[in-house]
């Protein structure tokens, strides 16, 4: 590549070292940004025309050239051409292709513009688009989980809910599924807010860092791209990546609930547990052990989430030492942020497909729903309702658990009778099966069927509001 073919080659007497040019290249990462960078150029042409910098014939020629490149990006020919020419970034590639199509008009494209405000605007458009994608993805997952929850609610299927990995209290399977869905609702809410924030202020027209002496209709450009307004400070606009990094964060953190559910599925899929069966489409086998049926996708979701989180945090960390304005460090930050977003998207897509492929063994769940004395809290609550203080009730039930455990039996009527004596009644009125325990819950947000049904209705309503807000 000659110095003349570079956007910045005028003050140099020789071409750059190819190895160093390759080291500084961001072209491969920029390919995901091609259509957004092209939109930025289309908006800049309108800013030039609106400011009276270019005549109608130059404007029309530039628009035609950019429209042609848009088609080439779509069909893949532009990427092949740009790779062959070994451009260092997408901005230079599009600029060169415009000059190749329209030599005279193409020389006007970069008037009043820097790659600094160009990439800042391109990344804002990318972040807005990916935030809308994130909203669609998390909304879809939340709705799928809620749909399965409603089916489970019809049967009032129960299982032993756990804390610390130990049996705790009986819960509805629908309640567990709703719990899995709720974080994705919060993610949807974050994505909706980010999609709006990304399109708040347009950096285009900021130049390298100080604005431009060339008249530019920034309002026309902002209107064309869908921004609410032009940015207020050029120095801030060219070096700020907050929305991109926040988008990377939102994508990465959206994988965390998927990873947590995946961790539970991995445990439940073991024949020693047997709560779920992973479908053939998302399971894998062993190259040595013929009997193996491995939940690999859920394991990869769990591990991949850590990589996405690492990439998102790396973007923030690398930018913390960068002064105001643009510095080349931000290229590395951009790469980390995009890696986090794209990796997280693949993780959530895989999770959605794999989760849709699992089957719950509700009979096995119900068989063990009271194992580990999961009804003990219900008995303590019954004593409190009967007038005993909470600490005494807790101790008395704990003593009965110890007795039943020593006798290697579950809670039964003899325990209710013994506990009832402390209230002066023949027997304590408390559940002796998991479904009765679930039905006894009275608080909003609990595992009772009525509370779960109300929560699912509210969940669906909130998802619809998030979608309508963007």
CATH number at residue 156: 1.20.200.10
CA contacts within 13 A on the Cβ side of 454:
10
pLDDT at 338: 96
CATH number at residue 417: 1.10.40
**Which residue, of 321, 337, 363, is where some domain finishes?**
363
**Which residue, of 81, 111, 141, is where some domain finishes?**
111
468 within some domain? no
For the cut 70, the answer to whether the pLDDT of residue 201 exceeds it is yes
In the structure, what pLDDT confidence band is assigned to residue 17 with cuts at 50, 70 and 90? low
For the cut 80, the answer to whether the pLDDT of residue 24 exceeds it is no
In the structure, what pLDDT confidence band is assigned to residue 114 with cuts at 50, 70 and 90? very high
In the structure, what pLDDT confidence band is assigned to residue 166 with cuts at 50, 70 and 90? very high
Among 28-32, 63-67, 253-257, 434-438, the range scoring the smallest mean pLDDT is 28-32
Contact present, 335 and 376 (Cβ < 8 Å): no
368 within some domain? no
253 within some domain? yes
Q: What is the largest CA-CA distance in the chain?
A: 101
pLDDT at 88: 77
Token reading at 371 = 């194992």
439 within some domain? no
166-172 and 158-163 strand pairing: antiparallel
pLDDT at 83: 84
Residue scoring higher pLDDT (321 or 72): 72
- Of 131, 172, 149, which Cα lies nearest the Cα of 460? 149
Domain enclosing residue 386, as ranges: 376-432
Q: pLDDT of 249-277, one tens digit each?
A: 999 999 999 999 999 999 999 999 999 99
- Of 279, 268, 250, 257, which Cα lies nearest the Cα of 178? 257
Contact present, 135 and 467 (Cβ < 8 Å): yes
Residues 6+ apart with CB under 8 A from 392: 383
pLDDT at 356: 96
CA dist., res. 17 & res. 221, Å (int): 37
Tokens 């091609």 sit at which residue? Answer: 34
**Which residue, of 90, 111, 132, is where some domain finishes?**
111
In this structure, the number of other CB atoms found within 10 A of the CB of residue 389 comes to 9
Do 194 and 73 lie in one domain? The reply is: no
Do 349 and 394 lie in one domain? The reply is: no
Tell me how many domains the chain contains.
Answer: 3
For the cut 60, the answer to whether the pLDDT of residue 470 exceeds it is yes
Do 103 and 188 lie in one domain? The reply is: no
- Of 411, 410, 380, 385, which Cα lies nearest the Cα of 395? 380
In this structure, the number of other CB atoms found within 10 A of the CB of residue 204 comes to 30
Residue 289 region by backbone torsions, left for phi larger than 0, else alpha for psi between -120 and 50, else beta: beta
pLDDT at 89: 84
Do 50 and 155 lie in one domain? The reply is: no
- 10 Å CB burial of residue 19 (0-12, 13-18, 19+) is exposed
- Of 80, 102, 103, which Cα lies nearest the Cα of 27? 80
For the cut 80, the answer to whether the pLDDT of residue 174 exceeds it is yes
Do 398 and 299 lie in one domain? The reply is: no
- Nearest 10 degrees: Cα torsion 167, 452, 265, 355: 170
- Of 102, 99, 122, which Cα lies nearest the Cα of 37? 122
pLDDT at 127: 98
Do 280 and 310 lie in one domain? The reply is: yes
- Of 103, 1, 83, which Cα lies nearest the Cα of 34? 83
Contact present, 277 and 294 (Cβ < 8 Å): no
For the cut 70, the answer to whether the pLDDT of residue 6 exceeds it is no
Residue 163 region by backbone torsions, left for phi larger than 0, else alpha for psi between -120 and 50, else beta: beta
In the structure, what pLDDT confidence band is assigned to residue 5 with cuts at 50, 70 and 90? low
Contact present, 349 and 137 (Cβ < 8 Å): yes
Q: What are phi and psi of 393, to 5 degrees?
A: -60, -45
Do 65 and 121 lie in one domain? The reply is: no
CA dist., res. 272 & res. 195, Å (int): 45
Contact present, 7 and 107 (Cβ < 8 Å): no
206 within some domain? yes
Residues 6+ apart with CB under 8 A from 186: none
Contact present, 224 and 45 (Cβ < 8 Å): no
Give the mean pLDDT of 74-84: 90
CATH number at residue 77: 1.10.275.10
pLDDT at 417: 95
The three state secondary structure string of 425-467 is CCCCCCCCCHHHHHHCCCCCCCCCHHHHHHHHHHHHHHHHHHH
Do 83 and 144 lie in one domain? The reply is: no
Q: pLDDT of 287-314, one tens digit each?
A: 999 999 999 999 999 999 999 999 999 9
Do 191 and 240 lie in one domain? The reply is: yes
pLDDT at 10: 62
Q: pLDDT of 403-457, one tens digit each?
A: 999 999 999 999 999 999 999 999 999 999 999 999 999 999 999 999 999 999 9
Q: pLDDT of 316-373, one tens digit each?
A: 998 998 999 989 888 889 999 999 999 999 999 999 999 999 999 999 999 999 999 9
458 within some domain? no
Token reading at 218 = 């920034």
In the structure, what pLDDT confidence band is assigned to residue 82 with cuts at 50, 70 and 90? confident
pLDDT at 405: 95
In the structure, what pLDDT confidence band is assigned to residue 377 with cuts at 50, 70 and 90? very high
Do 198 and 343 lie in one domain? The reply is: yes
- 10 Å CB burial of residue 271 (0-12, 13-18, 19+) is exposed
CA dist., res. 67 & res. 94, Å (int): 11
**Cα separations (Å) of 278 from 126, 151, 177, 267, 291?**
35, 19, 16, 11, 14
Residues 6+ apart with CB under 8 A from 290: none
180 within some domain? yes
In the structure, what pLDDT confidence band is assigned to residue 147 with cuts at 50, 70 and 90? very high
pLDDT at 210: 97
CA dist., res. 193 & res. 127, Å (int): 12
Do 147 and 92 lie in one domain? The reply is: no
Token reading at 182 = 């709720």
In this structure, the number of other CB atoms found within 10 A of the CB of residue 10 comes to 8
Do 352 and 398 lie in one domain? The reply is: no
Token reading at 428 = 């304590």
82 within some domain? yes
């Amino acid at each position: 590549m000659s110095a003349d073919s570079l956007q910045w080659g005028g003050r140099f007497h020789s071409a750059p070292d190819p190895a160093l040019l390759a080291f500084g290249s961001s072209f491969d990462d920029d390919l995901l940004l091609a259509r957004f960078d092209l939109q930025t150029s289309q908006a800049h042409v309108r800013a030039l025309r609106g400011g009276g910098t270019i005549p109608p014939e130059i404007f029309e020629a530039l628009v035609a050239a950019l429209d042609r490149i848009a088609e080439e990006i779509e069909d893949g020919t532009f990427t092949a051409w740009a790779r062959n020419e070994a451009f260092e970034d997408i901005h230079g590639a599009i600029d060169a292709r415009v000059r190749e199509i329209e030599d005279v008009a193409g020389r006007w494209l970069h008037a009043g513009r820097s790659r600094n405000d160009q990439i800042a605007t391109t990344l804002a458009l990318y972040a807005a688009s990916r935030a809308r994608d994130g909203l669609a993805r998390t909304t879809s997952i939340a709705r799928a989980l809620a749909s399965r929850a409603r089916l489970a609610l019809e049967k009032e299927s129960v299982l032993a809910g756990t804390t610390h990995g130990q049996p705790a209290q009986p819960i509805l399977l629908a309640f567990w599924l709703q719990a899995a869905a709720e974080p994705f609702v919060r993610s949807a809410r974050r994505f909706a807010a980010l999609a709006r924030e990304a399109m708040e202020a347009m950096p285009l027209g900021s130049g390298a860092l100080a604005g431009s002496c060339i008249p530019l209709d920034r309002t026309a450009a902002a209107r064309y791209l869908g921004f609410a307004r032009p940015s207020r400070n050029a120095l801030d606009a060219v070096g700020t990546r907050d929305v991109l990094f926040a988008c990377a964060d939102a994508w990465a953190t959206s994988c965390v609930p998927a990873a947590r559910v995946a961790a539970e599925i991995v445990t439940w899929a073991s024949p020693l547990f047997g709560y779920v069966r992973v479908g053939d489409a998302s399971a894998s086998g062993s190259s040595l052990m013929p009997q193996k049926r491995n939940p690999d996708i859920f394991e990869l979701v769990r591990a991949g989430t850590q990589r996405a989180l690492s990439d998102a945090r790396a973007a923030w960390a690398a930018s913390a030492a960068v002064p105001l304005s643009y510095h080349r460090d931000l290229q590395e930050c951009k790469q980390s942020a995009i890696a986090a977003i794209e990796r997280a998207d693949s993780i959530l897509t895989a999770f959605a497909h794999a989760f849709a492929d699992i089957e719950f063994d509700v009979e096995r769940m119900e068989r063990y729903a009271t194992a580990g004395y999961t009804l003990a809290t219900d008995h303590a609550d019954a004593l409190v309702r009967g007038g005993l203080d909470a600490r005494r009730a807790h101790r008395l039930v704990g003593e009965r658990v110890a007795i039943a455990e020593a006798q290697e039996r579950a809670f039964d009527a003899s325990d209710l009778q013994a506990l009832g004596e402390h209230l002066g009644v023949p027997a304590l009125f408390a559940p002796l099966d998991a479904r009765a325990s679930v039905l006894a819950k009275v608080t909003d947000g609990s595992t009772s069927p009525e509370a779960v049904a109300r929560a699912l209705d509210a969940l669906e309503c909130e998802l619809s509001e998030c979608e309508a807000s963007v």
